[in-house]
Amino acid sequence: MNVFERTGRSATSLLALGATWACAMALLATAFAAPSHAEDAAASPIAAIERFHATLLTAMKDAQKLGYDGRRKLLEPVIDDTMDLPFMAEKAAGRFWKDFSETDRVRWVAAFRGNTVANYAGRFDRFSGQSFVTHGEEPAPFDTVLVKTTLKDPGGEDVQLNYRMKKQSERWRIIDIFMHGTVSELALRRAEYSSALERDGLDKVVQSLEGQAAKLSSGAGGQ
Protein backbone atom coordinates (compact mmCIF):
# COMPACT_ATOMS: atom_id res chain seq x y z
CA MET A 1 0.00 0.00 0.00
CA ASN A 2 1.50 3.31 -1.01
CA VAL A 3 1.63 6.55 0.93
CA PHE A 4 -1.40 8.22 -0.63
CA GLU A 5 -3.59 5.16 -0.24
CA ARG A 6 -2.77 5.06 3.48
CA THR A 7 -3.69 8.72 3.70
CA GLY A 8 -7.01 8.23 1.94
CA ARG A 9 -7.97 5.20 3.99
CA SER A 10 -7.43 7.08 7.22
CA ALA A 11 -10.53 9.30 6.61
CA THR A 12 -8.22 11.68 6.09
CA SER A 13 -7.57 13.37 2.91
CA LEU A 14 -6.70 12.15 2.44
CA LEU A 15 -10.09 11.01 0.86
CA ALA A 16 -16.74 16.77 -4.11
CA LEU A 17 -19.53 18.73 -2.43
CA GLY A 18 -22.86 25.62 0.66
CA ALA A 19 -25.01 26.37 3.45
CA THR A 20 -24.50 29.52 5.49
CA TRP A 21 -20.91 30.04 6.64
CA ALA A 22 -21.07 33.54 8.11
CA CYS A 23 -20.36 32.62 11.72
CA ALA A 24 -17.94 29.76 11.08
CA MET A 25 -15.90 31.68 8.57
CA ALA A 26 -15.78 34.76 10.77
CA LEU A 27 -14.35 32.77 13.66
CA LEU A 28 -12.00 30.70 11.51
CA ALA A 29 -10.86 33.38 9.08
CA THR A 30 -7.40 33.60 10.56
CA ALA A 31 -6.86 29.85 10.52
CA PHE A 32 -7.93 29.51 6.91
CA ALA A 33 -6.30 32.69 5.56
CA ALA A 34 -4.35 32.02 2.36
CA PRO A 35 -0.71 33.05 2.36
CA SER A 36 -0.13 35.95 -0.01
CA HIS A 37 2.89 34.33 -1.66
CA ALA A 38 0.59 31.57 -2.98
CA GLU A 39 -1.67 33.85 -5.02
CA ASP A 40 -0.17 32.92 -8.37
CA ALA A 41 -0.18 29.22 -7.51
CA ALA A 42 -3.96 29.24 -7.02
CA ALA A 43 -4.70 31.22 -10.19
CA SER A 44 -5.41 28.03 -12.16
CA PRO A 45 -6.55 24.55 -11.10
CA ILE A 46 -3.40 22.84 -12.34
CA ALA A 47 -1.09 25.39 -10.72
CA ALA A 48 -2.82 24.90 -7.38
CA ILE A 49 -2.53 21.11 -7.56
CA GLU A 50 1.10 21.19 -8.64
CA ARG A 51 1.97 23.44 -5.71
CA PHE A 52 0.16 21.02 -3.39
CA HIS A 53 2.02 18.05 -4.86
CA ALA A 54 5.38 19.82 -4.67
CA THR A 55 4.83 20.48 -0.96
CA LEU A 56 3.85 16.86 -0.33
CA LEU A 57 7.05 15.68 -2.01
CA THR A 58 9.13 18.10 0.06
CA ALA A 59 7.51 16.77 3.23
CA MET A 60 8.26 13.21 2.16
CA LYS A 61 11.84 13.86 1.09
CA ASP A 62 12.67 15.80 4.27
CA ALA A 63 10.45 13.72 6.55
CA GLN A 64 13.08 12.59 9.00
CA LYS A 65 14.74 15.99 9.27
CA LEU A 66 11.44 17.80 9.71
CA GLY A 67 9.78 15.34 12.07
CA TYR A 68 6.02 15.42 12.54
CA ASP A 69 5.89 19.01 13.78
CA GLY A 70 8.00 20.26 10.90
CA ARG A 71 5.89 18.41 8.34
CA ARG A 72 2.73 19.83 9.87
CA LYS A 73 4.09 23.39 9.76
CA LEU A 74 5.11 22.88 6.14
CA LEU A 75 1.85 21.30 4.99
CA GLU A 76 -0.73 23.20 7.04
CA PRO A 77 -0.76 26.51 5.12
CA VAL A 78 -0.75 24.74 1.76
CA ILE A 79 -3.62 22.47 2.77
CA ASP A 80 -5.60 25.47 4.03
CA ASP A 81 -4.85 27.32 0.82
CA THR A 82 -5.55 24.46 -1.58
CA MET A 83 -8.52 22.68 0.03
CA ASP A 84 -11.92 24.13 0.85
CA LEU A 85 -11.94 22.44 4.24
CA PRO A 86 -15.02 24.25 5.61
CA PHE A 87 -17.07 23.15 2.59
CA MET A 88 -15.74 19.61 2.78
CA ALA A 89 -16.49 19.47 6.52
CA GLU A 90 -20.08 20.54 5.91
CA LYS A 91 -20.62 17.89 3.26
CA ALA A 92 -18.90 15.23 5.37
CA ALA A 93 -21.43 15.87 8.15
CA GLY A 94 -24.24 14.97 5.76
CA ARG A 95 -27.80 15.53 6.97
CA PHE A 96 -26.60 16.35 10.48
CA TRP A 97 -25.15 19.69 9.36
CA LYS A 98 -28.55 21.39 9.29
CA ASP A 99 -29.12 20.51 12.96
CA PHE A 100 -25.77 21.85 14.17
CA SER A 101 -25.81 25.17 16.01
CA GLU A 102 -23.35 27.81 14.79
CA THR A 103 -21.06 26.88 17.69
CA ASP A 104 -21.32 23.21 16.75
CA ARG A 105 -20.45 24.04 13.15
CA VAL A 106 -17.32 25.87 14.22
CA ARG A 107 -16.29 22.92 16.41
CA TRP A 108 -16.95 20.44 13.61
CA VAL A 109 -15.00 22.38 10.99
CA ALA A 110 -12.08 22.86 13.38
CA ALA A 111 -11.99 19.13 14.22
CA PHE A 112 -12.28 18.13 10.56
CA ARG A 113 -9.50 20.52 9.60
CA GLY A 114 -7.20 19.42 12.44
CA ASN A 115 -7.71 15.75 11.62
CA THR A 116 -7.03 16.33 7.91
CA VAL A 117 -3.80 18.24 8.50
CA ALA A 118 -2.63 15.72 11.11
CA ASN A 119 -3.22 12.84 8.71
CA TYR A 120 -1.16 14.41 5.93
CA ALA A 121 1.65 15.28 8.35
CA GLY A 122 1.58 11.84 9.94
CA ARG A 123 1.23 9.69 6.84
CA PHE A 124 3.55 11.43 4.38
CA ASP A 125 6.55 10.43 6.45
CA ARG A 126 8.96 8.82 3.98
CA PHE A 127 10.19 9.00 0.40
CA SER A 128 11.08 6.15 -1.95
CA GLY A 129 11.16 7.78 -5.35
CA GLN A 130 7.51 8.80 -5.68
CA SER A 131 6.50 11.49 -8.16
CA PHE A 132 3.33 13.13 -9.41
CA VAL A 133 2.30 13.44 -13.05
CA THR A 134 -0.37 15.94 -14.12
CA HIS A 135 -2.41 14.85 -17.14
CA GLY A 136 -4.60 17.92 -17.56
CA GLU A 137 -7.99 19.29 -16.60
CA GLU A 138 -11.53 18.99 -17.87
CA PRO A 139 -14.87 20.65 -17.06
CA ALA A 140 -17.03 19.00 -14.40
CA PRO A 141 -20.62 19.62 -13.20
CA PHE A 142 -21.70 22.67 -11.20
CA ASP A 143 -18.94 24.98 -12.47
CA THR A 144 -16.16 22.74 -11.20
CA VAL A 145 -13.03 21.39 -12.88
CA LEU A 146 -11.44 17.96 -12.63
CA VAL A 147 -7.64 17.89 -12.55
CA LYS A 148 -6.32 14.45 -13.45
CA THR A 149 -3.03 13.24 -12.00
CA THR A 150 -1.16 10.06 -11.16
CA LEU A 151 1.01 9.28 -8.15
CA LYS A 152 3.92 7.23 -9.52
CA ASP A 153 5.36 4.83 -6.97
CA PRO A 154 8.42 2.84 -8.12
CA GLY A 155 8.13 0.53 -5.11
CA GLY A 156 4.40 -0.04 -5.26
CA GLU A 157 1.24 0.60 -7.24
CA ASP A 158 0.65 3.80 -9.23
CA VAL A 159 -2.52 5.57 -8.12
CA GLN A 160 -4.77 7.77 -10.24
CA LEU A 161 -5.79 10.88 -8.31
CA ASN A 162 -8.44 13.19 -9.70
CA TYR A 163 -9.09 16.47 -7.91
CA ARG A 164 -12.45 18.20 -8.20
CA MET A 165 -11.94 21.94 -7.82
CA LYS A 166 -14.11 25.04 -7.61
CA LYS A 167 -13.15 28.67 -8.08
CA GLN A 168 -13.91 30.96 -5.14
CA SER A 169 -12.81 34.59 -4.93
CA GLU A 170 -10.39 34.12 -7.83
CA ARG A 171 -8.79 31.05 -6.19
CA TRP A 172 -9.13 27.39 -7.10
CA ARG A 173 -9.62 24.97 -4.23
CA ILE A 174 -10.09 21.22 -3.91
CA ILE A 175 -13.57 20.10 -2.90
CA ASP A 176 -13.07 16.36 -3.41
CA ILE A 177 -10.35 13.83 -4.23
CA PHE A 178 -11.13 10.74 -6.28
CA MET A 179 -8.86 7.83 -5.42
CA HIS A 180 -8.16 5.51 -8.37
CA GLY A 181 -9.98 8.10 -10.45
CA THR A 182 -13.49 7.29 -9.23
CA VAL A 183 -13.62 6.68 -5.45
CA SER A 184 -14.76 9.90 -3.77
CA GLU A 185 -12.92 10.58 -0.52
CA LEU A 186 -15.67 12.99 0.49
CA ALA A 187 -18.35 10.35 -0.03
CA LEU A 188 -16.38 7.89 2.09
CA ARG A 189 -16.05 10.46 4.86
CA ARG A 190 -19.73 11.35 4.70
CA ALA A 191 -20.71 7.70 5.07
CA GLU A 192 -18.32 7.15 7.98
CA TYR A 193 -19.06 10.37 9.83
CA SER A 194 -22.82 10.29 9.32
CA SER A 195 -22.94 6.82 10.80
CA ALA A 196 -20.77 7.89 13.74
CA LEU A 197 -22.80 11.05 14.36
CA GLU A 198 -26.02 9.08 14.40
CA ARG A 199 -24.59 6.45 16.73
CA ASP A 200 -22.45 8.56 19.08
CA GLY A 201 -23.44 12.20 18.70
CA LEU A 202 -21.37 15.26 17.88
CA ASP A 203 -19.35 15.50 21.09
CA LYS A 204 -17.97 11.97 20.85
CA VAL A 205 -17.20 12.22 17.15
CA VAL A 206 -15.35 15.52 17.64
CA GLN A 207 -13.42 13.95 20.52
CA SER A 208 -12.58 11.00 18.27
CA LEU A 209 -11.29 13.24 15.48
CA GLU A 210 -9.21 15.24 17.96
CA GLY A 211 -7.93 12.01 19.51
CA GLN A 212 -6.87 10.63 16.14
CA ALA A 213 -4.96 13.83 15.42
CA ALA A 214 -3.28 13.72 18.83
CA LYS A 215 -2.32 10.08 18.32
CA LEU A 216 -0.70 10.86 14.99
CA SER A 217 1.20 13.72 16.60
CA SER A 218 2.51 11.65 19.49
CA GLY A 219 3.17 8.58 17.37
CA ALA A 220 5.10 10.47 14.68
CA GLY A 221 6.66 13.11 16.86
CA GLY A 222 9.96 11.34 17.12
CA GLN A 223 10.40 10.87 13.39
The amino acid occupying position 142 is F
pLDDT of residue 209: 95
CA 5 to chain centre: 13
The Cα 77–Cα 197 span in angstroms is: 28
Give me the residues paired with residue 144 across strands: 140, 166
The Cα 15–Cα 19 span in angstroms is: 22
Fold for 3-9+40-220, please state it: Nuclear Transport Factor 2; Chain: A, (3.10.450)
pLDDT of residue 219: 63
Q: Are 147 and 134 in contact (CB under 8 A)?
A: yes
Q: Are 136 and 156 in contact (CB under 8 A)?
A: no
Q: Are 86 and 25 in contact (CB under 8 A)?
A: yes
Of 184, 180, 126, residue with least CA distance to 150: 180
CA 189 to chain centre: 11
Q: Write the Ramachandran bin of 173: left for phi over 0, alpha for psi from -120 to 50, otherwise beta.
A: beta
pLDDT of residue 20: 29
Q: Are 16 and 177 in contact (CB under 8 A)?
A: yes
Torsion of the alpha carbons at 6, 7, 9 and 11, rounded to the nearest 10: 160
> Domain ranges in the chain?
3-9+40-220
φ, ψ dihedrals at 29, nearest 5°: -60, -40
* Tens-binned pLDDT, residue by residue, of the chain (223 aa): 434 444 344 333 333 323 323 333 333 333 333 444 455 656 799 999 999 999 999 999 999 999 999 999 999 999 999 999 999 999 999 999 999 999 999 999 999 999 999 999 999 999 999 999 999 999 999 999 999 999 999 989 999 999 999 998 889 999 999 999 899 999 999 999 999 999 999 999 999 999 999 998 876 443 4
Q: Are 152 and 53 in contact (CB under 8 A)?
A: no
In the chain, beta strands by DSSP E: 131-140, 144-152, 159-168, 171-179, 183-184
The Cα 204–Cα 63 span in angstroms is: 32
pLDDT digits (tens, 9 = 90+) for 164-223: 999 988 899 999 999 998 999 999 999 999 999 999 999 999 999 999 999 988 764 434
pLDDT of residue 204: 97
